Every structure is written in structure tokens, then in C-alpha cells.
């Protein structure tokens, strides 16, 4: 556990704990407000994120930003990170050994940010944070409380690009988060 953001980031830049280190251009550490009350957790960097070193800057990210803005939330108010910090080849789902190797970094980020609410974006985030027994289809849209943190599982924004019907549910889930947070 690093007490200090710079040391944590530096250790990830040098990380070779899993095979995803081989193809990365940049690590995607995380971004936003380091004292945020709300944290968003995605899966892992895509091509755009790998190039820029910033989470959710590609198509899915832009859609998410738009939804947040529509709810009066600036993404800079939140802290945003991923399960894995290096891009999986052709955007495949991170393998279990990769997610497990990387998870300590995310835990460290959560300990430093101390969020009240964590939004789990998609199945990979849900299963790695709360447990394999959860299914995103069944769990999305419902609050889960664990160790003084309220979790809201919802669709991964990339899923909205494939299925229009998920947009309204994603929107409603984020609205639920905003209402709890800003009440």
C-alpha cells in the first residue's frame, strides 16, 4: 500500500506483473478528483486510452461523459479508474491472472480516494470487485452496500454503443447515483 499518489503511479509505470505490460503504449492510471465522493470503475484501456494514458477518452467514454453532463455532473468531479491499467490486445476482456495481478493497485486507489459511492461499469468491474457470483444483468441498477461503500453496478458504456435499449437504464442508474450523492 502506497500512501502517496506519485509513488503508486510510478510503481504502475514500471509494472511487469502480468503479460499486458508487453503491448502497452501508456499505462492508464486513473483520472479526476482524488478526493471524490464517487468513483467510477471500468474494465481496462482501449486503443484511445492506451495512446493518451487517460481513462474513457474513446467513443464509449465520450458517450459516458455526455450522460454525466446531462445529469449535471462534470467528470472532473469524479475519480475514474479501471480494473487493469494496461490495454488488453484487441480489447479482449482481461484474463483472470491479469485482473488479479492488477487489482491491488485499484484497491490502493480506493483507499486513497475513500469514495462513498462506487459505480461498477460492466461485468468485469462487478465480478472483480464484488465477486464472481454476481451477474451484471441481475445486479445492475440495485445498490449493494459493503464495508461502508455503496456500490451501483451498471452497464459498461461500450455496451450502450451495441444496444440502444441499454442507454435508458444506464441513464437511470447514473441518476440514482447523482440523487444519492447530491442529496
Please identify, using beta-carbon distances, which residue of 75 and 85 lies nearer to ligand SF4: 85
What is the closest distance, in whole angstroms, from the C-beta atom of residue 12 to ligand SF4 in the complex? 5
Cα four-point dihedral sign 117, 70, 68, 94: positive
79-82 and 149-154 strand pairing: unpaired
**Which positions touch ligand SF4 (CB under 6 A)?**
12, 15-18, 20-21, 27, 84-86, 98, 101-102
Among 42, 88, 94, 153, which residue interacts with ligand URA (rule: CB under 6 A)?
Answer: 42
Q: Residue 119's binding partner, choosing from ligand SF4, ligand URA, none, with beta-carbon cut-off 5 to 8 A by kind? A: none
Interaction of residue 56 with ligand URA, rule CB under 6 A: yes
Please identify, using beta-carbon distances, which residue of 82 and 154 lies nearer to ligand SF4: 82
Cα four-point dihedral sign 32, 170, 69, 94: positive
Q: At which residue does the C-alpha cell 456500490 appear?
A: 151
CA-nearest of 149, 91, 99, 140 to 120 is 140
Amino acid at each position: 500500500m502506497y500512501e502517496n499518489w506519485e509513488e503508486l503511479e510510478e510503481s504502475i509505470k514500471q509494472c511487469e506483473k502480468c503479460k499486458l505490460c508487453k503491448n502497452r503504449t501508456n499505462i492508464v492510471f486513473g483520472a479526476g478528483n482524488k478526493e471524490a465522493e464517487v468513483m467510477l470503475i471500468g474494465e481496462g484501456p482501449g486503443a484511445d486510452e492506451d495512446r493518451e494514458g487517460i481513462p474513457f477518452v474513446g467513443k464509449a467514454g465520450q458517450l459516458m461523459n455526455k450522460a454525466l453532463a446531462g445529469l449535471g455532473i462534470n467528470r472532473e468531479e469524479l475519480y475514474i479508474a479501471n480494473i487493469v491499467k494496461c490495454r488488453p490486445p484487441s480489447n479482449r476482456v482481461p484474463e483472470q491472472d491479469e485482473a488479479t495481478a492488477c487489482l491491488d493497485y485499484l484497491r490502493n486507489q480506493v483507499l486513497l480516494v475513500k469514495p462513498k459511492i462506487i459505480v461498477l461499469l460492466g461485468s468485469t468491474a462487478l465480478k472483480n470487485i464484488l465477486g464472481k457470483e454476481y451477474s451484471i444483468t441481475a445486479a445492475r441498477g440495485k445498490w449493494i452496500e459493503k464495508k461502508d461503500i455503496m456500490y451501483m453496478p451498471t452497464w459498461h458504456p461500450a455496451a450502450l454503443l451495441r444496444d440502444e435499449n441499454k442507454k435508458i437504464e444506464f441513464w437511470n442508474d447514473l441518476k440514482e447515483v447523482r440523487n444519492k450523492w447530491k442529496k
